Amino acid sequence: MTTADQSPGSVTVRVPAKVNLDLRVGPVRPDGYHELSTVFMAVGLHDEVTVTTSDTWRVTVGGPCSAGVPTDDTNLALLAARTLAEEVGVHDPVSLHLHKDIPVAGGMAGGSADAAAALVACDHLWSAGMSRDELADLAGQLGSDVPFALSGGIAMGSGRGEQLAPVLARGSYHWVFALSETGLSTPEVYAECDRLRAGRRVPAPTPSPEVMTALRSGDPQALGRALHNDLQPAALSLQPGLAEVLEAGVEYGALGGLVSGSGPTVAFLTASPEAALDLCVSLTASGVAGDVRRAKAPVHGAQVVPGPTRV
């Protein structure tokens, strides 16, 4: 997280999407969550959240991925702002404007990213002086993916994903994301995962040695081979058409592909920026995917920027 000059009464924070390079889903815990082992990578698809002093609490939304984002009290960014206000004793409301470029209900933690951005923006606006650890604690209360959106980079997540540990990694990676017109509900995907595994022993999740080795060596080919997501069978069960997208991406030269998180976004790792561009062209020209995005990774987590770059 960094700071930058802002207009009085307004702060803008840029925050990235994530992809799970390795997602292992363990048994259901007594609190209803699943025990997870995952490796997060922050990727260069960003939302921007602008927080402005206001007479009332409110949320507005714009951008190419704005459809379906709630603007009532269920909005996670608004909840994050209110949570921080209560924590630091601020009683003045703010308005939040979300510029959405991260898919909604796409398995890339767009809602969590906005919540992380709201925490950073409000902390800056109110000069609250929260430490990174204090913000991370609040983030973990808001959602499993919110702490990672604060930190960015590459990290291993445990617990329900909110407990982070740094990952030794090198190199840059080039991704292509095939977006879906229809989102998937994370609770529904987990429920389908449980249904598909009913009657089978589910072991405690542990990180993939192959993924960790590939990251340490900065080897995209090895990482492409090691990509894994325990939720992928459930996502494919709920949206069977994703299987065709996965097969096409590998056929057109991706080093590896998987459903991102709970889906339905499909993520493909490529060997270079040129290979990523070629894959985008192939996926769209074939009609397999209508909306594709390229992104470089890893990138920083939520950080203050001088002002909105998009409306």
Ordered domains of the chain (ranges, CATH): 10-167+298-305 (3.30.230.10), 173-297 (3.30.70.890)
Helices 76-88, 132-142: crossing angle, 10 deg rounding: 130
Among all residues, which ones are annotated catalytic?
A: 18, 145
Other beta carbons within 10 Å of 285:
10
Q: According to the model, what pLDDT value does residue 8 have?
A: 66
Helix 242-251 / helix 273-285 crossing angle, nearest 10 deg: 130
Residue 290 CA, chain-centre distance (Å), reads: 21
pLDDT value of position 311: 61
Rg (CA), the chain: 19
d(CA 294, CA 49): 21
pLDDT at 290: 87
Is this model's pTM higher than 0.85 or not?
yes
Given this model, what pLDDT does residue 7 score? 53
Low-confidence residues of the chain, pLDDT below 70?
A: 1-8, 311
Do the beta carbons of residue 304 and residue 121 sit within 8 Å? Answer: yes
Whole-number pLDDT of residue 307: 83
Task: Say what the pLDDT of residue 266 is.
Answer: 97
- The pLDDT tens digits for 153-186 are 999 999 999 999 999 999 999 999 999 988 899 9
